[in-house]
């Protein structure tokens, strides 16, 4: 499954925002603009799709993200994804979305109800979408036959999505698509956090009894790398080469597994279940050291590179359609950042990458069509736009004339342009 476009709005300070995703895309804007809000909104929208009714009620009443901006007050939350998926061995394009009203404090209208939902599909060679789910405030319908129309009534509660109810309709001919939508996951990585949390030796919630390549939770990097080495040595070699290429101060590293329990075969053979008591570490040999040391002893920047690369590869292995990184360039020098972006593009495969940045320096390592730029406005809302392809060469010439980089020029443009200058309409879609 891929996610090629995300449309989102009506949450925090985000008006309607459309993000077309390439292999790697970046949200570029000054501090305190709304970049993090967009990432949180995407996670919020995905979680709502697969969440229980209790979770949905909680989300529709979650006050910290209900819009209080005067331009957005009273607006509904809307979320839509578009992309491709494999169904019945054929490639289909899909369009799925929904909308709900936030909780209200009005006496006769408490809000907190889903008001719209739609699912459309078409085979890759088809020109028009066909409706499979159609819902508004008055009526909910779904398609029951491949030769029919989307007209069968589907009774739903105010806090229930059609895809959640149809997930139990085993005889439905497109239930495979419904299963895919209900199980959709993305990965969000906050690279501003302390990297040590990804490398704890033992965790209290350790419930793993055998090797697994499932996307690792926090503090599971050591376990995941051990599993990768055992279960997929080719990908492990790819990851190891990538790390060593990016970090020349590291000569070698090796994930290790240490059993802490005293072995007692006679007793253990009688146990119906053996509690795990194992820690996982990554032993690192730095070029100037005379011995291997624990991963915890290397610099935070090196640890960050290691877990970013590992989690990207884990997302590709688990076919996660999107992974996001906040402020990826933090604590990474500019030359290393360029090589890191190139390596991530290789490791990610079909997984899309979305990063945020408030730095003009990231821009010079990305193509102009990969940029989503936060533009100034008088409404206090976050609005991310793409550059017009026909204007890119002109912007490059203007930046060159001022002896500055495209990134620095664009940042000056974002900071100084206003809605009435005409610059926004000239250069941005």
The mean pLDDT of 259-278, rounded to a whole number, is: 66
- The rounded distance, in Å, linking the Cα atoms of 251 and 145 is 60
Say what the pLDDT of residue 366 is.
87
CB-CB contact of 26 with 35 (8 Å): no
Residues near 73 by beta carbon (within 8 Å), at least 6 away in sequence = 67
How many whole angstroms separate alpha carbon 221 and alpha carbon 281? 9
Which position has the higher pLDDT, 209 or 297?
Answer: 297
- Are 369 and 339 a contacting pair, CB within 8 Å? no
Please tell me the distance from the alpha carbon of residue 98 to that of residue 237, in angstroms, as a whole number: 42
CA distance 319 to 143: 28
- CA end-to-end distance (rounded Å), the chain: 27
Q: Tell me the average pLDDT of the chain.
A: 89
- pTM of the complete model: 0.91
Mapped onto helix, strand or coil, the DSSP state of residue 318 is coil
What's residue 417's pLDDT?
Answer: 66
d(C-alpha 162, C-alpha 157), whole Å? 9
Specify which of 98-107, 298-307, 313-322, 399-408 reaches the highest per-range mean pLDDT: 313-322
Average pLDDT on 250-269 reads 76
**Per-residue pLDDT at 208:** 59
pLDDT category at 409 given cuts 50, 70, 90 is confident
Candidates 382, 352, 350; CA nearest to 370 is 352
**pLDDT tier at 291 (50, 70, 90 boundaries)?**
very high
Neighbours of 266 (CB within 10 A): 6
d(CA 175, CA 172): 5
d(CA 33, CA 265): 60
The residues that bridge with 255 in the sheet, in sequence order, are 282
DSSP string for 175-229? HHHHHHHHT---EEEETTS-GGGG--SS-TT----S---SPP-TT-HHHHHHHHH
- At residue 211, the pLDDT reads 82
Taking residue 42's Cβ as centre, other Cβ atoms within 10 Å add up to 23
CA 63, CA 375: separation in Å to the nearest integer?
Answer: 26
Is residue 76 within 8 A of residue 10, CB to CB? The reply is yes
Tokens of 176: 């495979």
Q: What's the pLDDT score for residue 264?
A: 56
d(CA 410, CA 382) in angstroms, rounded, equals: 17
Most confident of 158-162, 258-262, 371-375, 379-383: 158-162
CA nearest to 164, candidates 123, 114, 121, 90: 114
- Token pair, residue 223, equals 């376990």
Q: 329 vs 254, which has greater pLDDT?
A: 254
Look up the CATH architecture of domain 1-186+320-429: 3-Layer(aba) Sandwich (3.40)
In the three-class reduction of DSSP (H, G, I as helix; E, B as strand; rest coil), residue 258 is classed as: strand
Residue-range domain boundaries for the chain = 1-186+320-429, 197-318
Check residue 425 and give its pLDDT: 79
For the record, the structure tokens of 31 come out as 């501090």
């Amino acid at each position: 499954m891929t996610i090629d476009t995300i449309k989102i709005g009506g949450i925090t300070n985000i008006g309607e925002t459309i993000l077309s995703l390439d292999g790697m895309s970046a949200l570029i804007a000054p501090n305190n603009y709304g970049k993090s809000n967009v990432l949180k909104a995407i996670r919020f929208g995905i979680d709502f799709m697969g969440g229980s009714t209790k979770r949905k009620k909680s989300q529709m009443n979650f006050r910290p993200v209900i819009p209080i901006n005067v331009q957005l007050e009273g607006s509904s939350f809307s979320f839509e994804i578009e992309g491709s998926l494999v169904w019945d061995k054929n490639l289909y394009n899909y369009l799925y979305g929904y909308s709900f009203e936030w909780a209200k404090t009005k006496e006769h209208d408490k809000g907190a109800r889903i008001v719209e939902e739609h699912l459309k599909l078409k085979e890759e060679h088809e020109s028009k979408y066909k409706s499979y789910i159609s819902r508004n405030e008055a009526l909910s319908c779904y398609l029951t036959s491949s030769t029919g129309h989307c007209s069968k009534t589907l009774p739903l509660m105010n806090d229930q999505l059609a895809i959640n109810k149809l997930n139990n309709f085993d005889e439905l001919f497109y239930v495979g698509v419904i299963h895919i939508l209900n199980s959709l996951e993305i990965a969000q990585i906050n690279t501003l956090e302390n990297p040590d949390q990804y490398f704890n030796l033992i965790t209290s919630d350790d419930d793993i009894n055998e090797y697994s390549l499932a996307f690792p939770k926090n503090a599971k990097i050591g376990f995941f790398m051990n599993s990768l080495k055992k279960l997929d040595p080719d990908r492990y070699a790819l990851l190891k080469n990538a790390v060593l290429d990016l970090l020349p101060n590291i000569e070698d590293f090796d994930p290790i597994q240490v059993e802490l329990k005293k072995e007692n075969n006679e007793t253990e053979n009688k146990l119906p279940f053996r509690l795990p008591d194992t820690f996982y570490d990554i032993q690192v040999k730095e070029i100037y050291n005379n011995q291997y040391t624990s991963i915890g002893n290397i610099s935070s920047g090196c640890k960050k590179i290691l877990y970013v690369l590992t989690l990207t590869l884990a997302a590709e292995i688990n076919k996660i359609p999107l992974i996001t990184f906040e402020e990826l360039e933090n604590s990474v020098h500019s030359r290393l950042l360029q090589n890191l972006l190139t390596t991530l593009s290789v490791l990610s495969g079909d997984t899309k990458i979305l990063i945020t940045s408030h730095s003009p320096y990231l821009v010079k390592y990305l193509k102009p069509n990969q940029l989503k730029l936060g533009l100034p406005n008088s409404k206090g809302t976050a609005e991310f736009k793409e550059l017009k392809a026909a204007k890119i060469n002109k912007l490059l010439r203007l930046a060159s004339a001022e002896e500055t980089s495209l990134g620095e020029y664009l940042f000056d443009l974002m900071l100084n342009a206003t809605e009435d200058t005409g610059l926004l309409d000239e250069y941005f879609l």
